[in-house]
Amino acid sequence: MIKIGELNAKPLRPGQIFEIEGRVTELLPVFTLGTRRYERMVVSDDTGEITVSLPSSPKYFLPGDLLKLKGRVRPCPYMPSEKCIETSAEEIVILEPKWVRPQDRKDLDDLGPFTLFAFLAVTTLDERKMEPILRTRLEPVKIYEEVRKRVELGKDISDFIELLEAMTLYSVFFRSLSAAEITQNSVIMIRGLDIGDEHKSKLDIMEKFLRALVDVEGFRPYILGPKAGLIETYPLGKEEELDKYGELSNPAIEVVKSLRGEGDLRFMIIQLEGSIEGIRKVREVFELAAGVGGASLLSSTIDTTLEKFQEVIEQLETIPNRKEKTLLYIEGLEVLVPSNLFISTFVKDPNVALKVRMKGLNLLSRILKNSSIVIVAITPSIALVAKEAVEKADKIVGKAKKIKKGEEYIPYTV
C-alpha cells in the first residue's frame, strides 16, 4: 500500500503496479481510448489525489466512497504530463460506501431527463451535491420545497444554487431540451422566494439563458443537436461511381438491385473493424447506393445509436408502415440486438439489455415484412449480435472475428 502523495512524487515508471486507498472526490466524463470507453474518477487521501481510469463496468462508484484498489501507473492519455492509475472494476473494493448502498445504485440511472453519473461527470464539488440530489431527485417541486424550508429557517441555500447551475450546464453539455425545461421551471419557482440579491442575480442569468434555450426557436437546433435519432436524406448518385469503392462495390450493387426490385436481398450485415476512415467509406458507399437505387436513406451512425438510443428506437417503430423505397442504414447493430456475449462483456444491467434485445428483434421482424425496405447494418462482429438477428440476414459481409474478453480471445459460433 502506498500513499497517493508518495506515488505522485515518485519518478514515473509506466506499468508499475501500486495499491492505494482513498475516497472518491469527483467523477469525470467518460473518454474513449481506442475502441474502449473508460470511466474516470478522482481519488484522494490525506496526502494528495490522483485520477483513476477503468473500462466501463457494472459497478457504480459515488463521491465519498472509500476505495481500495490496485492498478498500473501510466501517463494520463488526455494529459501525459500527469499520472493516472489504470485499473479494472475487479481490482476495486468499496471499503465504505457513502450515500447509497452499491446494490441500490442502478436505480439512480433514472432522474427524469438526468442520469446521475453523467450529471456528476460534468460538475465539480460532487460530494456537496449528493445530498440535495438524493433529497430532490432533481424534481422542480422538491427542489422548491427544500429551498423554501431553508429560507424560512434562515439557512444557507448555496448548495441548491450550485445544483441549479449544474443542471443548466448538463442541459447544454448533453443537449437535452427536456433537462433545460425542468431546470427552467425550478429556477422560476425559487426566484419568487426571499433568497437575497446575490442568489437572485445568479438565477436571473440562468433564467434568461434557459428561456432562450427553451423558447427561442433559433436555439432549438443547437440544444437538440444534429443527431436526433435516424436522419432521413434523399441522396443522388450514378452507378459507375460505385466502382471506386473496391470490395464494397459488390455489396453496394446488390443493395441497389434490391432497391430497384431486381434482387431479393433485404437484410445485409457488414462486419467492420478498423479506422474512422473505414467507417466513413462505408457510409459514403451506401449513401451512394441509396441514391442509385432511387431510395430515401434513413441512417444512424454509431454515435447516434449510442447517444440518441431512445430516439432511434422510437423512429424505428414507424418504419414498418413506410410506403416509399428506403435504405435503412444502422451502425451499432449489437446495441439494438445484443448477443449474450455482448451483454456479459459490456453491459451494466443485463435485465435492461435483454428487454432491449426483445424489442429490437420484434422491430427487426416487423421492418423486414415491408418489401420496400432494405436494411444494411454494421457491427464489429456478428459475435456481438443476437443469433436470432443474424439468422434473419440474407448476407453477411466481412471475415468472422474472435472477440477479446479479458486477456483471452474466445471463439464463437452462429
* pLDDT score, position 409: 44
Same domain, 370 and 242: yes
Task: Verify that 279 and 325 share a domain, yes or no.
Answer: yes
What was the pLDDT predicted at 411? 42
pLDDT at 412 over 50: no
Mean pLDDT on 319-332: 90
d(CA 180, CA 289): 39
Q: Taking the model in full, what pTM does it have? A: 0.50
Domain membership of residue 279 as a residue range: 231-410
Judgement on whether residues 117 and 85 belong to the same structural domain of the protein: no
Whether 193 and 334 share a structural domain: no
Q: Which residue has the higher pLDDT, 213 or 221?
A: 213
Within this chain, do residues 13 and 70 fall inside the same structural domain, yes or no? Answer: yes
Query: Highest-confidence range of 45-54, 99-108, 288-297, 377-386, by mean pLDDT?
Result: 45-54
Q: Which residue has the higher pLDDT, 274 or 187?
A: 187
The pLDDT value recorded for residue 156 is: 92
Digit-coded pLDDT (tens) for 21-57 = 999 998 888 877 655 678 899 999 999 999 998 888 8
Q: Which of 199, 224, 249 is the last residue of a domain?
A: 224
Instruction: Read off the pLDDT band of 140 (50, 70, 90).
Output: very high
Number of domains present in the structure of the chain: 3
Contact partners, residue 199, CB within 8 Å, separation at least 6:
157, 158, 161
Same domain for 148 and 40: no
For residue 62, the domain's CATH number is 2.40.50.140
Beta bridge partners of 44: 23, 49
- What band does 414 get if pLDDT is binned at 50, 70 and 90? very low
CATH classification of the domain holding 251: 3.40.50.300
**Could you tell me if 200 and 147 lie in one domain?**
yes
Q: Is the pLDDT assigned to residue 98 strictly greater than 50?
A: yes
275 and 395, same domain (yes or no): yes
β-pairing verdict for 395-397 and 373-379: unpaired
Which of 169, 195, 224 terminates a domain? The answer is 224
Is the model's pLDDT at 403 over the cut of 80? no
Q: Are residues 20 and 44 in the same domain?
A: yes
Residues 163 and 262 in one domain: no
Do 35 and 122 fall into the same domain?
Answer: no
Q: Beta strands 267-271 and 373-379: pairing type?
A: parallel
Q: How does pLDDT run across 57-91, given as a tens digit for each residue?
A: 878 899 999 999 998 888 887 777 788 898 888 89
Same domain for 12 and 96: yes
β-strand 231-233 against 296-300: which pairing, if any? Answer: antiparallel
**What pLDDT is stored for residue 48 in this prediction?**
94
- From 224, 253, 276, the end of a domain falls on 224
